[in-house]
Amino acid sequence: MNFALQGRVPAFGLFLWLLSAISSHAGESAVPAGVSGPVRRDHVTVELVADSAALSPGSQFEAGVKFTLDPEWHVYWKNPGDSGEAPRFEWELPPEVTAGALHWPAPERIPVGPLLNYGYEGEVVFPVEFALDSSAVPGETVRLVTEAKWLVCREDCIPGSARLELVIPVETAPRPGPHGPLFEAARATRPHSLPAGAAVVEDRSGMVTVVVRRNVLGGVDPGTLRLFPETEGILVNAAPQKVEAANEVVRVSVPKEAMHPSPVTVLPGLLAGKLPDGTRKAFSFEAVRSGGMDRAGPGLLLAILFAFMGGLLLNLMPCVFPVLTLKILGFVEQADSDPARVRRHGWVFASGVMAAFAVLAAALLLLRAGGEQLGWGFQLQSPGFVAALVMLLFALALSLSGLYEIGLSFTRLGSSAGGGYGGSFLTGVLATVVATPCTAPFMGPALGFALTQPAVSAVAVFAGLGAGMATPYVVLSEFPAWLEKLPRPGPWLDTFRRVMAFPLYGTGIWLLWVYGHLSGVDNAVRLLWALWLLAIAGWLWGRTQFQLRPLPVVAAMAFLAGAIGLAATARPPAVAVSGAPSADAFWKPWSPEAELAVSGKPLFVNYTAAWCITCQVNERTVFSRDDVRAAFGVAEATVLKADWTQKDSVIAGSLARLGRNSVPTYAWYPEGISGRVELLPPVLTASIVINAVQSPR
Amino acid sequence: MKKKTWIQGIAAVMTLVAMGAGISVLMSSRASALEIGKPAPSFTGKGSDGKDYNLSDYRGKYVVLEWLNHGCPYVAKHYDSGNMQGLQKKYTEKETIWLSVISSAPGKQGYSTPEEANADVKKHNASPTAVILDPEGKIGRAYDAKTTPHMFVIDPKGDLIYAGAIDSKRSTDQKDIPKSVNYVSQALDEAMAGKPVATASTQAYGCSVKY
């Protein structure tokens, strides 16, 4: 406690202060005292204990209420099961102490006749993490007070409560206390958090199944695993659980409550089992349903179907448009050649798209295996990738502008003779790479599915996406009659080609803006210099293409190497760059705490990123409108923006809880964070938002 | 003809996808004994007054089922405050049938002989239509009653329109009652006004039913 007496204290005040200091160790605190040491209540002894006998300024420690229960009596887990109530602790802390998380120990299954509870028997402590501010002064004391309320039951139940306190001295170095081992043991058996995507929930024909990857269970005998749902009212708690262990995954199935008709999309909970030596081990997870839109738990086929439709729609998303022009160009030329070759080109283009999706899938799986938290568009969260993409687009645009010809005739211009399949293939690859930052409707669930499934399913879903994206072009090449409606090649084609360079430049500028957000203005300018070198290299290269001279070739290579080197040596900025595309006071920054702070009141969360052009379009055309903002005002809604421009596992986890892994995601909670949630479509109009926000609650 | 086979192949794949989707949708739907909007399980129970009470006799009226155990602090919360008695009085005056069901097994807490159950009604000044004694737990299991209190509302057609907690605040503290939404009266008022029941099922809270 802070005993600094400010100014002159009247004698009477000093007397009172001495009295209070003597009686309850309290300084200026107005917190009424609680009871130190063990307290006996009905069928239970409770005591506020800590892992340390002394604290040092700036240190962290754990403290919590220890329950010593009479035989056969129990208290409850946060989900008490079929009946009962979890204990509650209201902490009253001095200003220099901040509280962190309460770590619920892994509970036991406690059968009560045909019903079942989740709780604790014997001795249990509920540890809370605390931090002592570095401003605390050795020689003082810290007084923790908690108002504990609980329900203790055998068959019959008795509510209990106690006001408990603990006074810990502040010293220069922390000292472990007699309860240290109790907290050590609690830490050792504390549920271990599984990585996002390690567990999936399925909901089929009256059974809810949690599927978990076997390699995250650290040697626990699968047969001993039991599922503890954190959400109440979904599972039949007392039902026997069925465990099936396969090579890659373990499936734990529990019958679903008949009264819970809606499909289970998210299931947080614990899996607890035993190691071969009998030690108990628990894992906490947040299982997201594979998929998240259809009413039935989607099978693989359904996910592929969604992926296919999503792929089709990808062609219509704003960020694919520049690439679309590239493809149109290809078709314009092909219109001149014989149908068989056009058809082959269509297929080669399609295989280019498929190959790119296959590489993406492989990369995704590799990174997933590394435990990375990923989302669609993740490759655009890596600055190096964005820089490379900017350079590639710029190089292509330079070629379209006529500075030089790409050897393989990338866009197949100027190569009237056969071949050029490499060009079609690469166009397919490029189209895919540039399209990825956009999430089309339907695609989120399919990807959510892919991210959490065994490798084969994931690849199949990606193949569905690729097939959807490539289909229109294959169809076009299969029916060249459609192509013949396009004009014949001629001098106009050269003009057309020069014009087509500009959308590519534009795409490059947009990506440069993304890059600037990712790694700062210095690096962005560095990249511009790299483009400048690239332009010189391109010009030199173009000169060599007409009459081959060794010097310019070498010079071109040197400039190219310089450009790549310059871009590659960009250093990450010293200060984390804000990815906020615009410092807009309308939005408050998102955090889990910010969500909870407005519980019970309408809440809108905008998951966005600078590299997501669909998000940017929505920002500019919908969220900036006065009528939309007014609607939020009328609904008295809190509006939070979760900016995913840079990797952020907290945001990724929050998206996962919504069954999504990509932006844009727009979540509307009419009754606050603990109520129902409505996900808005990724492509918004003002009326969609206004109607959602105004709908009667 | 190459083109033909290709189109046939695509058609076949699409058909398979559609069939798969159809099958998975069908498999996920299932019938269950207890469902909102479906007929409530029928029962005949012995009242503490010695009469038989048959649910089917009350077609045309609203019926409330209340799982009861006076030894449970959650039940005490709603009886010591007068909350439960107030609901019983208000809705039985509106022609609603209110049946308090005791499913405690013999030897378990809350088990009541007819005399004890009648004495409890008097003692708490309660006014249910009847107290049903269900020591074998037959009615309790038919309704999957888990807690005391656990509340069910059945409409005049005999369909279940509400199942779950009595109100929105899980606690044994009477002070929480004014701060909570009473789901039972909300469901009854909405249904009686011809409106759909907004909150038709909730997680019940209380002590375990002592089967």
Using one digit for the tens of pLDDT, what is the confidence trace for A668-678?
998 887 777 88
List strand residue ranges (DSSP E) for A133-224, in order.
Answer: 141-153, 157-169, 175-176, 192-193, 199-204, 207-213
Residue A548: per-residue pLDDT: 61
Instruction: Identify the residue with better confidence: A576 or A515.
Output: A515
Residue A147: per-residue pLDDT: 93
Of B201, B205, B210, the CB nearest to A259: B201
Residue A326: per-residue pLDDT: 58
The per-residue DSSP string of A152-172 comes to EESSSEEEEEEEEEEEEEB-S
With cut-offs at 50, 70 and 90, classify the pLDDT of residue A620: confident
Cβ contact B33–A298 (<8 Å): no
Structure tokens, A417:
């003779």
B55 in contact with chain A, both atoms CB, cutoff 8 A: no
Whether residue A449 has pLDDT greater than 70: no
Structure letter (DSSP) for residue A256: B
CA distance B27 to chain A (A): 6
With cut-offs at 50, 70 and 90, classify the pLDDT of residue B33: low
Using CA atoms, how far apart are residues A507 and A504, in angstroms rounded to an integer?
5
Residue B65: per-residue pLDDT: 97
Tally Cβ neighbours within 10 Å of residue A493: 17
Work out the angle between the directed axes of helices A491-546 and A383-400 (0-180°, nearest 10): 110
Mean pLDDT of chain A: 77
CA distance A446 to chain B (A): 14
Residue A293: per-residue pLDDT: 32
From chain A, the residues in CB contact with B137 under 8 A are 114
Residue B128: per-residue pLDDT: 96
B72 in contact with chain A, both atoms CB, cutoff 8 A: yes
Tens-digit pLDDT profile for residues A366-389 = 765 554 444 444 545 567 777 887
Residue A295: per-residue pLDDT: 31
**Burial label, A565 (beta-carbon count in 10 A; 0-12, 13-18, 19+):** exposed
List strand residue ranges (DSSP E) for B156-206, in order.
Answer: 160-164
Of B30, B32, B208, the CB nearest to A113: B208
B16 in contact with chain A, both atoms CB, cutoff 8 A: yes
B5 in contact with chain A, both atoms CB, cutoff 8 A: no
Taking residues B121-141, report their average pLDDT: 95
Structure tokens, B99:
């049946």
Q: Residues A477, A334: contact at Cβ < 8 Å?
A: yes
B70 in contact with chain A, both atoms CB, cutoff 8 A: no
List strand residue ranges (DSSP E) for B49-201, in order.
Answer: 52-54, 63-67, 97-102, 130-133, 147-148, 151-154, 160-164
Instruction: Identify the residue with better confidence: A299 or A167.
Output: A167
With cut-offs at 50, 70 and 90, classify the pLDDT of residue B47: very high
With cut-offs at 50, 70 and 90, classify the pLDDT of residue A308: confident
In chain A, the residue whose alpha carbon lies closest to the alpha carbon of B37 is: A259
From chain B, the residues in CB contact with A294 under 8 A are 21, 25
Nearest alpha-carbon partner for A274 in A141, A108, A120, A403: A108
Taking residues B146-152, report their average pLDDT: 96
% of chain A with per-residue pLDDT over 90: 26
From chain B, the residues in CB contact with A696 under 8 A are none
From chain B, the residues in CB contact with A157 under 8 A are 72-74, 207
Whether residue B60 has pLDDT greater than 80: yes
Whether residue A89 has pLDDT greater than 50: yes
Q: Residues A350, A505: contact at Cβ < 8 Å?
A: no
From chain B, the residues in CB contact with A209 under 8 A are none
Residue of B208, B209, B210 to mutate for A, most A C-beta atoms under 10 A: B208
Of B24, B34, B210, the CB nearest to A113: B210
Place of tokens 């871009």: A567
Cβ contact A233–B209 (<8 Å): no
With cut-offs at 50, 70 and 90, classify the pLDDT of residue B154: very high
Tally Cβ neighbours within 10 Å of residue A630: 12
Residue A597: per-residue pLDDT: 76
Cβ contact B109–A259 (<8 Å): no
Q: How far is CA B100 from CA A377, B48, B53, B163, in A?
A: 58, 10, 11, 14
Cβ contact B201–A260 (<8 Å): yes
Whether residue A204 has pLDDT greater than 90: no
Residue A324: per-residue pLDDT: 58
Residue A405: per-residue pLDDT: 67
Nearest alpha-carbon partner for A168 in A132, A134, A123, A128: A132
Give the least confident one: A187-201, A323-337, A588-602.
A323-337
From chain B, the residues in CB contact with A112 under 8 A are 208
Structure tokens, A571:
């250093």
Residue A562: per-residue pLDDT: 87
B17 in contact with chain A, both atoms CB, cutoff 8 A: yes
Using CA atoms, how far apart are residues A189 and B207, in angstroms rounded to an integer?
29
Instruction: Identify the residue with better confidence: A695 or B196.
Output: B196
Using CA atoms, how far apart are residues A172 and A145, in angstroms rounded to an integer?
23
Instruction: Identify the residue with better confidence: A354 or A296.
Output: A354
% of chain A with per-residue pLDDT over 70: 75
- List all residues of chain B from 90 to 119 with a beta carbon under 8 Å from chain A: 105, 108-109
Structure tokens, A169:
């001295």
Using CA atoms, how far apart are residues B21 and A674, in angstroms rounded to an integer?
32
With cut-offs at 50, 70 and 90, classify the pLDDT of residue A167: very high
In chain B, the residue whose alpha carbon lies closest to the alpha carbon of A299 is: B24
With cut-offs at 50, 70 and 90, classify the pLDDT of residue A431: confident
From chain B, the residues in CB contact with A297 under 8 A are 24, 28
Tens-digit pLDDT profile for residues A532-566 = 999 998 888 887 766 666 677 788 888 888 888 88
Give the least confident one: A245-259, A288-302, A481-495, A682-696.
A288-302
Using CA atoms, how far apart are residues B129 and A301, in angstroms rounded to an integer?
54
From chain B, the residues in CB contact with A263 under 8 A are 28
Whether residue A637 has pLDDT greater than 80: yes
Whether residue A514 has pLDDT greater than 50: yes
Cβ contact B172–A296 (<8 Å): no
Residue B24: per-residue pLDDT: 31
Cβ contact A296–B108 (<8 Å): no
Residue A322: per-residue pLDDT: 53
Taking residues A605-623, report their average pLDDT: 78
Residue A511: per-residue pLDDT: 76
Instruction: Identify the residue with better confidence: B182 or A388.
Output: B182
Cβ contact B172–A260 (<8 Å): no
- List all residues of chain B from 119 to 138 with a beta carbon under 8 Å from chain A: 137
Residue B30: per-residue pLDDT: 31
CA distance A65 to chain B (A): 20
Residue A364: per-residue pLDDT: 66
Strands of the sheet with B151-154, listed across from one edge: B52-54, B44-47, B130-133, B97-102, B63-67, B151-154, B160-164
Whether residue A18 has pLDDT greater than 60: no
Cβ contact B21–A302 (<8 Å): yes
Using CA atoms, how far apart are residues A658 and A448, in angstroms rounded to an integer?
10
Taking residues A48-69, report their average pLDDT: 94
B169 in contact with chain A, both atoms CB, cutoff 8 A: no
Using CA atoms, how far apart are residues A249 and A197, in angstroms rounded to an integer?
12
% of chain B with per-residue pLDDT over 90: 74
CA distance A305 to chain B (A): 7
- List all residues of chain B from 145 to 164 with a beta carbon under 8 Å from chain A: 146-147, 163-164
Using CA atoms, how far apart are residues A338 and B69, in angstroms rounded to an integer?
86
Cβ contact A296–B24 (<8 Å): yes
Cβ contact B210–A295 (<8 Å): no
Residue A331: per-residue pLDDT: 61
From chain A, the residues in CB contact with B134 under 8 A are none
From chain B, the residues in CB contact with A233 under 8 A are 202-203
From chain A, the residues in CB contact with B30 under 8 A are 205-206
Tens-digit pLDDT profile for residues A317-342 = 555 555 555 566 666 566 566 667 77
B205 in contact with chain A, both atoms CB, cutoff 8 A: yes
CA distance B205 to chain A (A): 6
Structure tokens, A427:
């166009």
